[in-house]
C-alpha cells in the first residue's frame, strides 16, 4: 500500500515537472482581445471582393442568394413564355433550397442541447429555405400546367401540401391547383365557407 502511494506521488511530480518545462520552453501566449459584444455575429461586407467566404457570394450555387437568383431567372423565363427554361431553373432552385434546408436541419440536430443559440439560428434557416423550396416547387407545378402536363404537377403539388400543411396560404393554393386539375374531387373549405 505504501509503495502504491509513493508511485502515485512520483507520477504526480513527473507530470508537474513536465508541464512546468513545457511552459518554460513555450513562447509566451497572448490573449486575443474580446469583442465588445461577443454574441453579435461578425459583420462583413458581402460586396467586398476581398471577402473570401465563397458561400456568401451571390454567384455561389449552394447559397440562399444562388437559389434566389435561379428563382428570378425562372420568373423572367415565365414572363417570356420560355417554359422549358423556367422549368429547368425552378428544378435547380428546388434542389438548392432542399439541400440548404437539409444541411441546416442537420446542423440544428447537431447543436440541439449543446448551444441553443446556434441550434435556433440553424432551425430558422432551415424553415426559411424550406419555404423557398416549397415556393419553387409550387411555381414548377404551375409551369407544368402551362405546358399542358398536369400529370407532372400532381406530385409537386402534393409535396407542397404535405410540407406546408393545407391550412397555410401556399398549402391552400397547392390544394386548389389539385382540385382544378381534377386530381381531387372535394374543394378545401376556406374559413368563410361551411364544411
For 17-31, the pLDDT digits (tens) are 443 443 344 343 333
The pLDDT score that the predictor gives to residue 7 is: 52
The C-alpha angle with vertex 63 and arms to 58 and 67, in degrees rounded to 5, equals 85
Query: Mean pLDDT lowest for which of 5-9, 67-71, 138-142, 163-167?
Result: 5-9
- Do the Cβ atoms of 177 and 157 come closer than 8 Å? yes
The pLDDT score that the predictor gives to residue 188 is: 80
The pLDDT score that the predictor gives to residue 177 is: 95
The pLDDT score that the predictor gives to residue 187 is: 82
Query: 113: phi > 0 → left, psi -120 to 50 → alpha, else beta; which?
Result: left
- Residue 171 pLDDT > 70, yes or no? yes
Q: 47-96: per-residue pLDDT in tens?
A: 554 554 555 555 667 888 999 999 999 999 999 999 999 999 999 999 99
Q: How far apart are CA 153 and CA 144, in angstroms?
A: 6
Torsion of CA 97, 140, 91, 64, to 10 degrees: -30
The pLDDT score that the predictor gives to residue 153 is: 96
The pLDDT score that the predictor gives to residue 34 is: 36
Q: How confident is the model at residue 42 (pLDDT cuts 50, 70, 90)?
A: very low
Q: How confident is the model at residue 186 (pLDDT cuts 50, 70, 90)?
A: confident
Amino acid at each position: 500500500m505504501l509503495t502504491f502511494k509513493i508511485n502515485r506521488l512520483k507520477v504526480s511530480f513527473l507530470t508537474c515537472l513536465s508541464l512546468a518545462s513545457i511552459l518554460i520552453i513555450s513562447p509566451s501566449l497572448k490573449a486575443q482581445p474580446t469583442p465588445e459584444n461577443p454574441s453579435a455575429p461578425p459583420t462583413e461586407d458581402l460586396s467586398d471582393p476581398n471577402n473570401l467566404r465563397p458561400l456568401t457570394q451571390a454567384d455561389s450555387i449552394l447559397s440562399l442568394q444562388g437559389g434566389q437568383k435561379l428563382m428570378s431567372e425562372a420568373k423572367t423565363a415565365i414572363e417570356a413564355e420560355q417554359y422549358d427554361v423556367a422549368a429547368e431553373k425552378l428544378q435547380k432552385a428546388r434542389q438548392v433550397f432542399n439541400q440548404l434546408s437539409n444541411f441546416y436541419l442537420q446542423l440544428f440536430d447537431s447543436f440541439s442541447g449543446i448551444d441553443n443559440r446556434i441550434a435556433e439560428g440553424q432551425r430558422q434557416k432551415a424553415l426559411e429555405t424550406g419555404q423557398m423550396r416549397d415556393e419553387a416547387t409550387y411555381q414548377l407545378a404551375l409551369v407544368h400546367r402551362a405546358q399542358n402536363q398536369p400529370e407532372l404537377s400532381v406530385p409537386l403539388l402534393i409535396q407542397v401540401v404535405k410540407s406546408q400543411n393545407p391550412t397555410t396560404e401556399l398549402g391552400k393554393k397547392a390544394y386548389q391547383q389539385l382540385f382544378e386539375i381534377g386530381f381531387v374531387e372535394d374543394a378545401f373549405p376556406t374559413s368563410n365557407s361551411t364544411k
